[in-house]
Amino acid sequence: MNDADFRGAILDPEMRGQVSRRGAQTTAERSGGIPFPALLQNHKLWLDSGSRQGARADISDRDLSDADLRGLDLTAIVAARCRLMGAQLHRTTLAMADLRFADLRNAQLSYADLRGANLTRAYLSGADLRGANLAPLVSAHRPDRQWPTTLESAKLIGTDLRGTHLQKAKLTRADLSQAKLEGADLTGANLEGCVMPRTAFTQQASLVGLANASLTSDPVP
């Protein structure tokens, strides 16, 4: 498996160890590269100085499973293919974050700020996103300029999305099988090819913006 690239692949720990020992690339251990606290310190300086000092944090391909990141300001952080399984991200700011292919299974993301984040092909199955904000990020200087949150082809199987703000979110080909959607706001969301839970069709009154969406129901068992 020399030079095989398994970054972003969903593997159990045993399989990940096997392919790594055989020469494949996988997500790095937490200790790899610049220490995480130093990255966060430089990232905060980068944000506070308007990018004039410090450096934008890049935690791509790292393993931060079960990390406690509650309430941190991680705006615009680069975390492509990062393993954040079971991570604590309650009320964490992740606006404009790059989370493509990130493993966020069973992560705690309730009331997190994910406006404008790129979650293309992210794995969010079993995650708690209650009350999270995935609406577009609107420019403070130009209200007509917006960055919608992208969840294209993301896995949200069994994800708790109750009360989640998903206005104008790009959910094309996303899988929301068995997701909890009570009170979610889907106004203007792109649901083309999206797999929705059966309950969505019986609870349209509590799902803003769902009635005119193009939907694909769960496959019949």
**pLDDT tens string 185-194:** 999 999 999 9
Q: What is the pLDDT of residues 96-131, one digit of tens each?
A: 999 999 999 999 999 999 999 999 999 999 999 999
Answer CATH for 33-221 from 2.160.20.80, 3.40.710.10, 3.40.47.10, 3.40.50.1970: 2.160.20.80
Mean pLDDT of 50-56: 95
Question: What is the model's pTM?
Answer: 0.84
Give, in order, the Cα–Cα distances in Å from 55 to each of 44, 46, 58, 68, 216: 8, 5, 9, 22, 43
Domain borders along the chain are 1-30, 33-221
Model pLDDT for residues 57-103, shown as the tens digit of each residue: 999 989 899 999 999 999 999 999 999 999 999 999 999 999 999 99
